[in-house]
Chains A and B, each alone.
Chain A
Amino acid sequence: MVSSVTSANDRPLIQIEAATKSFTPRGGRTCLALRDISLSIPAGDFLAVLGKSGSGKSTLLNLIAGLDRPTSGSVHAAGTDLSRLSENKLALWRGANLGVVFQFFQLLPTLTVAENILLAMDFVGKIPAAQRRERADDLLQLVGLADQSSKLPSALSGGQQQRAAIARALANDPPIVLADEPTGNLDSETAAAVAELFHGLIDQGKTLLIVTHDENLARGADRVIQLKDGAIVADERKTGARS
């Protein structure tokens, strides 16, 4: 197990202690997706998670996002022990504290771009109702889609959809943004634009965790951890990574 590296003065925003996750598919053998992972991530960090397929990257992300529960160990994020939350409270916590960006965008096809963002605010209730529309417009402005707000996702390109997804992830002003292969479905030019957006989030003080195969995206991270067979095999903090 490789010990985590943290900045001396930062209280960890995300703290994973001895987390293990195993799966037993129907009729199959139990497999360990994560083995005894411990990880501390301070606020404002930009962390890239690398590893081959099956190394446990997405599983790690799912634990931090509260999308799954560890078989053993604990996960604390944004001041909350996720294991103590009921499903209802976990959902609300997630909406208020996490923004999730998926590889395949996962925009709701029957809602316009703006409505996708507004729905996220409606679920959580953190943003006052009177301010939601304005906030949605601001977020779309931020990601460069102000003129696409009334379009349906099917009318947008892949890059535009991913930017809309990023805007949705920011809907409730979460301190943490998680992205699972956010550029995996994009061409290099669009991927670079999306990467630029992510850097902008760090400048706003967000904590960003990205699972990626994209070297360009990983290069911009403050810290890169490498997973192999469910364990952290490398954890490197870069100095002056963002430029």
Chain B
Amino acid sequence: MITQWRKILGDFRHHRLQIFLLGLVLTLGTAGVVAALNARAILGREIAVSYASAKSPDIVLWFEKVDPALLDQVRARPGVGAVDARRTSLTRVAANSGEWFTMRLTVIPDFPNQQVALLHQHTAAPAAAAGIFIEQSGQTLLEKKVGDEVQVRTPAGEVARVRVAGFLHDTAVAPSTQDRAIYAYVAPATASLLGQNPEPDQLLVKMKERGDLGDATEFSEDLSAWLKNRNTPPLRADAMANTHPHAALMSTMLAVLEVLAAIAFTCSAALAAGMIAIWMKREVRQVGIMKAIGARFSQIAAQYLALVTPLGLASFAVALPIGTLIGRAVVKYYETSLNIDVADWSVPANLILKEAIFALGIPFLAMALPILRAAKMSARQAIQDPGIVAPTGPISLTAKLITMPGNRRLTFALRNTFRRPWRLTATLLALSAGGALLLTAYNTYESLMRVVDVSLASQGHDIEVQLQRPVAPAQLESVARAVPDVEIAEAFRRASVNIVADANGALSIAEGRRFLLCGYPPETRLIKLPLQEGRWPRADEPDAVVVNRLVQNATPGLHLGSEIALKFRERRTKMRVVGLVEEIGTPTIYTAFPAFEAVTALGDNSQVLRVKTSAGHEQAVASALDQALLDAHLAPSLISTRVEFRTALNEHFAVVTAVMKMIALAAALVGAISLVASVSLSVLERAREIGVIRALGATPRAVLWIFLIEGSAVALLSAVISIFGSIYFAQAINNKAARELLHVAVPLYVSRLGLMMLFSGALFIIIGVWLSVGRILRMSVREALAYE
């Protein structure tokens, strides 16, 4: 026993470089698995907990004004768990850079005693201090600290100044960096200073028990009816979906983390198996000798397993804390990018056990196979001078299939590529997994941004302005047209409507779901959305509408020709769907002004301005337009340019693609390290063969070319597999994004940058081959022939 351990330790010393590389590969792969699974577990739990901690309302009721008596009445209503009163308005705030951002300002009458839509305070500033509180994710955009003064537009178009009292965390909103908007919260006194109405006009209701959206909708209707009976009918009642606004994005990100774990794991196991296979090939003679002196299969197998088992355990022991740290870093990144609160950083104990089983068990099995195979060889087979390493695959098949006319060197090199099929499989698996991951990240990102660009290109306008109050359209348009580089300016109208159940029951109505009704001037030049089906309403059609796919997806059964009823406040108006369009944005129903007026009876004033600018002047026009409207006392609450919209979407996608790219690079690194190690061992294994070829008259350059062709063949094969794999994965992610995020088809785009990175990885492989072969070529032919 003692002698056997001496052999094991001697082998360890002799092969310390290979063992170190193997350990490195296992550690990195395991760390990747641990990081991905831990991050998935923590985020999966904490996203839900964080959102739940916000106690988002189930129902929002809108009134002209909410007085304390009304609040108390609703609070006392059976089934109501909690109620808070608020007022929300849109205005604009100036960042430190001078850029103006849209700001959603919420007036909170009773800061210390919030019960619904809770805001968490992480900074030391006392609640309800004088000043404005900013949602923490907006700090990056505003570049302001506590105590700094900010400029805020008043409804009259003037600029009010107020100090930042602190930063709060609203876990129910998306990060400001993604929405490109600031969320701010003030007490009524501060609201007055900002020229805003301090009186609440909303009741945020939390139900005692709630099931799905249908339950909330039903309760909302009951509550509205009860209030109507008490002569305090709400202007509007919204049943809320009770999901984070970016729930779909988060679920996509979590799915990506799972895929990453699987790929990291595959890489690790395949690489470990490949390296052990090469190592055992070189140990075969020793196995034969040991068998010749009496060792049995079990003793030999145990000896080598005893070498790799502690290695696997040590790798896991090192990888676990590293993976945990990396996982925490990933969670930290998402804590900011998703704007959630992570209160509990622990990982379930059974997950660590699962990670241990997978990260130890499967690579161990993969490594055990070549060990057991070598240990099973007969003594004669093992001792016999192998000369040139014999192929293990169906060489006669490859000999038949691979014959390059006239050039035996190319034939020789290509057949060599396939002479050890299992090792080739392991290598291809590892390389392809990393390559597919890298390319998928880039393909997905570029596919998504392409569809965004196509959608934006089909918009007729470059800038959209929303005003705090509706104004006469002629006045609005004349102010805009006076701004240089404005080519077209048109006043639009908007309102929030429901689609209510039709008499036939043909539609599956999402009760309580609200849609944007967009009214456009009949002769508009700014609606260029391509019709997927049907047509645009005629000027003489007061009952025709066009809907986008988001509306259709939210209303199963809705199709071209559907008869629907639109509900605006107490008005119900029948409409017919005459067209369908696709766009990225919000669920929108389009109709000309006459039909809009038929639905809303809001009159001729407009609250929205759409502008087309000269090419390249978008940002300058937006700033000039802002000032022009202020000068005309038409204070905008929101100015959105096409570029900002694109940036906002880019930030959304980055949530998913950023981590994919990080891990893709890590996978590429692991793949590259292990490939170089595998190639080095493989070349050493064929040292004698290289000697023979040189003895036949091959120059060192000829030998190098043979191995470069082999390496290039492997690189090319893995690149092809990576490309096909990435197409599959990217398509799957694109489909999920299309279904849950963008609601438009996302065609696959194969990224040129991704391909370039993939092929430069292939170049790295070729360089690795070159360096490895160079080492053997520095030996004399005699040394190469005698190499073992």
Answer whether A and B are interacting partners.
Answer: yes
CA distance A63 to B513 in the complex (A): 90
CA distance A119 to B403 in the complex (A): 13
Task: Say which residue of B396, B407, B689, B694 sits within 8 Å of A108 (CB atoms).
Answer: B689
* Cβ contacts A94-123/B at 8 Å (1 or 0 each): 111000101011111111100100111011
Asked whether A110 and B781 contact (CB < 8 A) given A91-B698, A102-B692, the answer is: no
Task: Say which residue of B688, B692, B701 sits within 8 Å of A88 (CB atoms).
Answer: B701
Known: A104-B387, A109-B388, A109-B419. 16 other contacts (CB 8 A): A68-B780, A91-B697, A91-B700, A94-B694, A94-B697, A96-B697, A106-B688, A108-B388, A109-B395, A110-B398, A110-B399, A110-B416, A111-B408, A120-B697, A123-B409, A123-B693
Asked whether A68 and B695 contact (CB < 8 A) given A111-B408, A129-B406, the answer is: no
Cβ A154 vs Cβ B395 within 8 A: yes
Q: Which residues of A contact B777 (CB under 8 A)?
A: 87
The smallest beta-carbon distance between A22 and chain B, in angstroms, is: 13
Interface residues in A65-88 (C-beta closer than 8 Å to B): 65-69, 87-88
Candidate in B387, B391, B406 with the most chain A CB atoms within 10 angstroms: B387
Q: Which residues of A contact B406 (CB under 8 A)?
A: 129
Cβ A67 vs Cβ B696 within 8 A: no
Cβ B388 vs Cβ A91 within 8 A: no
Nearest to B391 among chain A residues (CB) is A109
Question: How many of A's residues come within 8 Å of B, CB to CB?
Answer: 38
* Cβ contacts A104-147/B at 8 Å (1 or 0 each): 11111111100100111011100001000000000000000000
The smallest beta-carbon distance between A19 and chain B, in angstroms, is: 14
Asked whether A87 and B700 contact (CB < 8 A) given A110-B395, A152-B396, the answer is: yes
Is B365 part of the contact surface with A, judged by Cβ < 8 Å? no
* Cβ contacts B694-730/A at 8 Å (1 or 0 each): 1111111110000000000000000000000000000
Is B390 part of the contact surface with A, judged by Cβ < 8 Å? yes
CA distance A123 to B693 in the complex (A): 9
Is A62 part of the contact surface with B, judged by Cβ < 8 Å? yes
Is B415 part of the contact surface with A, judged by Cβ < 8 Å? yes
8 closest A-B pairs by CB:
A95-B697, A68-B782, A110-B415, A67-B781, A104-B387, A119-B408, A91-B699, A123-B697
Is B212 part of the contact surface with A, judged by Cβ < 8 Å? no
Q: Which residues of A contact B523 (CB under 8 A)?
A: none
Cβ A119 vs Cβ B395 within 8 A: no
Chain B, interface SS category: helix
CB pairs A–B below 8 angstroms (25 shown): A62-B782, A68-B781, A91-B694, A91-B697, A91-B698, A92-B697, A102-B692, A102-B785, A104-B385, A106-B387, A106-B688, A106-B689, A109-B388, A109-B390, A110-B391, A110-B415, A110-B416, A111-B399, A111-B408, A111-B412, A115-B412, A119-B409, A123-B696, A152-B399, A154-B390
Nearest to A118 among chain B residues (CB) is B408
Cβ B699 vs Cβ A88 within 8 A: yes
Cβ A123 vs Cβ B390 within 8 A: no
CA distance A115 to B700 in the complex (A): 20
Q: Which residues of A contact B700 (CB under 8 A)?
A: 87-88, 91
Is B627 part of the contact surface with A, judged by Cβ < 8 Å? no
Cβ A67 vs Cβ B692 within 8 A: no
Q: Which residues of A contact B385 (CB under 8 A)?
A: 104
Nearest to A168 among chain B residues (CB) is B696
Q: Which residues of A contact B242 (CB under 8 A)?
A: none
The smallest beta-carbon distance between A128 and chain B, in angstroms, is: 13
Is B411 part of the contact surface with A, judged by Cβ < 8 Å? yes
Interface residues in B739-779 (C-beta closer than 8 Å to A): 777
The smallest beta-carbon distance between B459 and chain A, in angstroms, is: 61
Asked whether A100 and B696 contact (CB < 8 A) given A110-B416, A122-B408, the answer is: yes
| Chain A residues close to B by CB (< 8 Å) | 59, 62, 65-69, 87-88, 91-92, 94-96, 100, 102, 104-112, 115, 118-120, 122-124, 129, 152, 154-155, 168, 172
Q: Which residues of A contact B699 (CB under 8 A)?
A: 87-88, 91-92, 123
CA distance A70 to B695 in the complex (A): 17
Q: Which residues of A contact B688 (CB under 8 A)?
A: 106
Nearest to A172 among chain B residues (CB) is B697
Cβ B398 vs Cβ A108 within 8 A: no
Candidate in A65, A91, A105, A155 with the most chain B CB atoms within 10 angstroms: A91
Nearest to B702 among chain A residues (CB) is A123
Cβ A110 vs Cβ B419 within 8 A: yes
Q: Which residues of A contact B696 (CB under 8 A)?
A: 94-95, 100, 119-120, 123, 168
CA distance A88 to B777 in the complex (A): 11
Q: Which residues of A contact B780 (CB under 8 A)?
A: 67-69
Q: Which residues of A contact B416 (CB under 8 A)?
A: 110
Cβ A119 vs Cβ B782 within 8 A: no
CA distance A155 to B695 in the complex (A): 24
Cβ A67 vs Cβ B782 within 8 A: yes
Q: Which residues of B contact A65 (CB under 8 A)?
A: 695
The smallest beta-carbon distance between A194 and chain B, in angstroms, is: 17
